[in-house]
Amino acid sequence: MAVGAGRISRRRVWLLGVLAGVAALTGCQGAGPIPDVAPAATPVARPAGDALASAVAFAPLTGRSTDAAALAHPSLAVKIDNHEEARPQLALNRTDIVFEELVEGGLTRYVAVWHSDIPEEVGPVRSIRPMDPDIATPFGGIIAYSGGQEQFVEMMMATPLVNLVFDFDDTGLFERADERPGPHDVILASGEAVTRSSALAPPPVQFAYGSANPLAAPGLAAVPTSGIDVVFSDARFPSWAWDAATSVWLRSQEGRPDLEASGERVRATNVVTLRVAIDWSYGEVPRTVMVSSGEAWVSVAGRTAHGTWAKDAAGSPIRLTADDGSPLRLAPGNTWVELVPDEGSVTIVP
């Protein structure tokens, strides 16, 4: 149930957003230890002979090199709808990282994070859930959503993130798309949202990155993989197929190709699959337990390595460790994280 403006005043939302911005600017994001990859804030000089020399850096959420100036803004996390009537979603292939999570009724929703490539619009935007503060806090910056139960909204408001909430919006950042059915029609002006908060710090690194083929070491025991099949519930069973021609994983949902609004197949350089516990203390609303540890699979370049994941605190990134104790690294590029309940299943297809 969405929270009305009478439950939490717009003035409070605005004030909390300002305080969150101040906290982010003073470095109080509690992001935890940073994996060993060159951070975005560390420029690397181009060769002196380059007449167009400028500072370059590594994008913290993709590991790709880019102009440092292009990274000098916060990340934007958005709660994205995945109901059938919400498809196709906007700009999923321009994300840096996407988390897929179980919600009530056996459906799933996304926490999608944009930083290195900010679209003008994203959506459809939906309401917050109790695990989302633990997912979004490590990134800092901005979180956008349509509303939610009051207790869940207050949990998100308690984070250091700037909260953009459709239910309380008087800034013109949200609108309803006439061509989409409600409530799957809320669209965020994402480019403008980031511009208005451009003084906030960029996100810290979340995963360790290696080469385009980071699972080559024999000790990782990576196995050839043509596909990844996961089951969240009887209603949601996405899959990924390795496409060697384009060197990406291509996504399907419930046996059909998953397309974004551009008409492109949803794709990822890295697919990270985590087995997670579900806390049912909120009644029919499942809470994915994020501050925990469990089994993990990292799928890159047509191979998959097995290991474990761990997250020490709400503000800490997820650590991925191979079975031989070494770090599990990703290839430079975008990443999807599948948060598969223990009651679900994961199948790595040879």
Question: 251 - beta bridge partners?
Answer: 240
Three-state secondary structure call for residue 69: helix
Contact predicate 137/29, CB 8 Å: yes
Domain boundaries, the chain: 10-33+71-196, 218-349
Indicate the length of the chain as a whole number: 350
49 CB burial (10 A radius; 0-12, 13-18, 19+) = exposed
157-212 per-position pLDDT tens digit? 999 999 999 999 988 999 999 999 999 999 999 999 999 999 999 999 999 999 99
**DSSP classification of residue 87:** P
Q: How far is CA 304 from CA 48, 114, 222, 299, 325, in A?
A: 40, 25, 5, 4, 16
- What pLDDT is stored for residue 20 in this prediction? 40
Strands 186-188 and 65-67: unpaired
User: Which tokens hold the place of 251?
Assistant: 């996504």
SS3 218: helix
pLDDT of residue 171: 87
Residue 96 has pLDDT above 70, yes or no: yes
* pLDDT per residue as tens digits for the range 32-41: 443 444 444 4
Q: Which superfamily is assigned to 218-349 in CATH?
A: YerB-like (3.50.90.10)
Q: Domain 10-33+71-196: what homologous superfamily?
A: YerB-like (3.50.90.10)
Helices (H) and strands (E) in the chain, counts: 4, 23
**CA triplet 345, 131, 168: central angle to 5 degrees?**
135
Question: What is the number of other CB atoms lying within 10 angstroms of the CB of residue 56?
Answer: 17
319: left (phi > 0), else alpha (psi -120 to 50), else beta? beta
Do 10-33+71-196 and 218-349 come out as alike in CATH topology? yes
Mean pLDDT to the nearest integer, 268-296: 98
Run of H or E including 297: strand 293-300
Residues whose CB falls within 8 Å of the CB of residue 42, separated by 6 or more in sequence, listed in order: 57, 58
